[in-house]
Structure 1
Amino acid sequence: MSTIVSVSRTIDAPADAIFELIADPAQQPRWDGNDNLAEAPAGQRVHAVGDVFRMRLIQGPVRENHVVEFAEGRLIAWQPAPEGEPAPGHLWRWELEPVDERTTRVTHTYDWTRLTDETRMARAQATTADKLMASMDRLAALSES
């Protein structure tokens, strides 16, 4: 079984517009295809590696998301962790490649290669390409409108 799941598609929107929806955690529940995110406080827009944003899950717990890759308008990746705990080893990544001024190739990846917490394995395995594509499709609907 692969521990890296990745999907790509072209979205009819500029990279900067798409990136704003991803880099602003308050927007993420609007496009989350896993239907796992409840809310994030406003004012947490990501700007650099090392930023941490907090998100409340639908089931109630708060996750601290540690940004580990960042290039403004092009790349963002984070490792979620229970509040006040180290990241258990999974990563969410978004890569944006402008095709032209109004079209962007977007790749969404979930990588659980380094996941060590056995209690999270079933959920990681359930994060399939169709779940990632659901996020991508919702993101496209929001950014193309």
Structure 2
Amino acid sequence: MTEMNKTPQGETKISVTRTIDASAKDIFDFLTLPANHAQIDGSGFIRSDDRTQRIQKVGDVFTMNMQGDHMGGEYQTDNHVVAYDPNKRVGWKTAPAGTQPPGWQWVYVLEDNGSDSTDVTLIYDWTDVTDPDLLAKNLFPLLTEEQLEESLNKLAAAVA
């Protein structure tokens, strides 16, 4: 098992990093297909994608079928791609389906180590959440550092 490096939890961001024994290209290809996201979800919220296409650029939107008590059961999210740099970075801001993103985002940063080894950092960032009503609900962080680590563990297993 590869050692996991952690960034201390800040007020508005959690970041975890793991070295994965796969090329940055293979990891990027896996992450840019939303149909794969339920397989690597460490939170247990993602159920499936909703007939989505591969992420190809900033501005793409993909829809996911979700389940969580924080939303009263089953729901959908629209994920607006905000970062896309082939084999280096992909990220999206999430919103309840049919709405604009309220400010939190997920970003995967890939650093190729050569020899089919890549440092993968998963960043959960709610810095841009400014809605006082949303902030008053004390939902952030909705996920734990351990759940993000589990996502990277599942990603490592999926691309191995």
TM over 0.5: yes
1:97 aligns with 2:97: no
* CA distance 1:42–1:20, shift in 2 (3 Å): farther
- Report the Cα offset of residue 74 of structure 1: 1.2
* CA distance 1:42–1:72, shift in 2 (3 Å): farther
Cα separation, 1, equivalents of 2:30 and 2:138: 28
Q: Flag the structure with more relative contact order, 1 or 2, with Cα contacts below 8 A and sequence separation at least 6.
A: 1
- Report the Cα offset of residue 13 of structure 1: 0.7
SS for the counterpart of 1:21 is helix
- Cα RMSD over matched residues? 1.6
SS for the counterpart of 2:87 is coil
1:132 aligns with 2:148: yes
TM-score (norm 2): 0.84
Cα separation, 1, equivalents of 2:119 and 2:36: 20
- Report the Cα offset of residue 131 of structure 1: 1.2
- Specify every segment of 5 or more residues in structure 1 that has no aligned partner in the other structure, as ranges: none
Pairs aligned (count) = 144
Paired residue type of 1:92: W
Aligned to 2:15: 6
Instruction: Tell whether the 8 Å contact from 2:105 to 2:126 is kept in structure 1 after alignment.
Output: yes
Instruction: Tell whether the 8 Å contact from 2:88 to 2:109 is kept in structure 1 after alignment.
Output: yes
SS for the counterpart of 1:60 is strand
Aligned to 1:21: 30
1:45 aligns with 2:31: no
* CA distance 1:40–1:137, shift in 2 (3 Å): same
Instruction: Tell whether the 8 Å contact from 1:25 to 1:42 is kept in structure 2 after alignment.
Output: no
Aligned to 1:116: 130
- Specify every segment of 5 or more residues in structure 2 that has no aligned partner in the other structure, as ranges: 1-9, 68-72
TM-score (norm 1): 0.92
Higher helix share: 1
